[in-house]
Structure formats: C-alpha cells, structure tokens
Amino acid sequence: MRSPLTFSSTRQPESLPVRVKQHKSLLLRTLGETEMWLQHNKVTNLRLACARVDGLLIRPGETFSFNKAVGNATRRKGYVPGMRLSNGVARPGIGGGICQLANLLHWMVLHSPLTVTERSTHSFDPFPDNGRVLPWGVGCSIVYNYVDLQFRNDTDQTFQLRVAVGERYLEGEIRSASPTESTYRVFARGERFFRSGERFFRRNEIWRTTINRRTGLPTDETLVRENVALVKYVPTDVEIIDLPATLPPPATPNAARVQAQRRTVASRH
C-alpha cells in the first residue's frame, strides 16, 4: 500500500537565503563509562548520514522522513560500530550514533513553523547531565523502518536542511526562502526525580512559546510533550521524591490530554 504522504527528496547545493534556526552539538562527550572509541566511530557514521540530508528541500505539503532520507545504516554503506542504546545501556551497533543527527534536526524544527508528525523518545535516561546544553527529553530514537522522525511543511514557503560534521561539533541550519512570521522558545518545566523502591525515574514537560517577530510578543504557548523515563544511573545533587514501591511514576499523558493543555496568549498590538 502506497503512502499518501509526499516525502521530500530534492536536494539543492546552494543555501536558501534566510537562516531560520542554527544549532550545533558537541561530537565527543563524556557519557558515564561509555568507551570513547564508540563515539569516535559515531563521527564516521554522522558524516555518512549528513551527506544524505544536507541540502534537502522541504517544499509546501512535503514531509521529511529521517529513515527515508538516511536509509538503512549498513556496513556495506561504510557505517561502523558506534554507540547504540539498548534498554538504556550503550552497546556497539552498526550505524550507532546517528540519533544525534535526528536530535539536532528535531531541536531546530521546534524553532521553526514545520510540524513534527512522528517522533519517538528513548524510554530510559541513560546518562547524567554532564555538559547538557538542551533540555532533557527533546531527543529522538531512530530504528530503521520502525521508529522514525518525520515533520511536515504546512506553510506556503520552502525550507532547507543544512547539516555537516565540523571539527568539534555536529552543525545544522534550517533555512528558508523568506523570513518567517514567528520565532520560538523551547524550554522545560517541572523537572523531577522520583524513587520507587530501588528504581529512579525522571519527569519533565517540554513547552514551546511562539513569538511574533514584528511585535516581540508571545502569541501561543504549547505543551509539546511530557516525558517520563527510567533512570539508569543514581541521581546526585538533585531533589528526589520518594514514592511507595508499589506506586508507578507519573504516567505520560495521551495526546488528548496534551492538546487540552495548550493555551493561547493574546497578542498586544
């Protein structure tokens, strides 16, 4: 059965004139006891994945699919064993580490008019916040042909993805043919750690504020997602709320509840 979606597939080497959002993420980080060779191999994998995404145009009505753009990360294509999370534990896996590119794209998309239509998160919090720049809970899980990151262009203008592996950072931009009407601020609220028996859990909420570029005033505030995950390390230097061992952590709400918590801020002109 053919998909009714129109997926973006056209690439353009020249950059569109307007930068909508720029971000970069450190390539090599100290993540618990993760062996650094896995991270060095991750850089190789990211170069291959970036080559499939860089320059891609997302025209009005088109949907970007990470899995369709990057494809299956196989040894035959040059991918090497990198860090892959399995039940919250870092293990070697062919193509491991390309989730960092999906994370970068998702963060930039949240700061654009593009609409995220499919995204899955890791169900574990595997590492302490050592050098964390972005809020916890805005990352993505990618499994080829099973778990994807997709976002759609519901506007009347074309956007472009620019990504590259630099000397120290994975670098990215979303560009467009003309300036957008709004800017965006993405942030976390309600950061909590819970202990239930011998297990630790983490919870927060990711919110997005839309700001009118002309007036500088907020026009909309949306709950993007409530995150709950099993913590795979012992949290330190944070408040921990104890729960009865038989009581589960606060559950992630369904989409209807998330939508109900959306609120609009009236513009002042």
Domain boundaries, position 237 = 181-269
Q: Residue 258: its pLDDT value, please? A: 37
pLDDT digits (tens, 9 = 90+) for 16-50: 999 999 999 999 876 655 578 888 899 999 999 99
Asked which of 137, 156, 179 is the last residue of a domain, the reply is 179
Averaged over 148-161, what is the pLDDT? 97
Domain boundary among 129, 156, 179: 179
Q: Judge whether residue 263 has pLDDT over 60.
A: no
pLDDT of residue 194: 95
Task: Looking at the structure, tell me whether residues 71 and 141 fall in a common domain.
Answer: yes
Q: What is the pLDDT of residues 206-245, one digit of tens each?
A: 999 999 999 999 999 999 999 999 999 999 989 999 987 6
Does 197 lie in the same domain as 65?
A: no
For the chain, what is the domain count?
A: 2
Percent of the chain that is helix, strand, coil (3-state, to 5): 15, 40, 45
Residue 135 to residue 158: CA distance in whole angstroms? 28
> In this structure, how many other beta carbons lie within 10 angstroms of the beta carbon of residue 175?
20
List C-alpha distances in Å: 160 to 16, 128, 233: 7, 33, 38
Please report, rounded to a whole number, the percentage of residues in the chain having pLDDT higher than 90. 71
- Looking at the structure, do residues 61 and 114 belong to the same domain, yes or no? yes
Banded pLDDT at 251 (limits 50, 70, 90): low
Residue 259 pLDDT class (50, 70, 90 cuts): very low
Residues 132, 253 share a domain: no
Report residue 257 as tokens. Answer: 């509840």
Please tell me whether residues 83 and 96 are part of one structural domain. Answer: yes
Q: Which whole number is the average pLDDT over 158-179?
A: 97
Q: Are residues 20 and 142 in the same domain?
A: yes
> Which SS3 state, helix, strand or coil, does residue 17 take?
coil
- Domain finish residue from 179, 194, 216: 179
pLDDT in tens, 51-105: 999 999 999 999 999 999 999 999 999 999 998 877 767 789 999 999 999 999 9
102 and 15 in one domain? yes
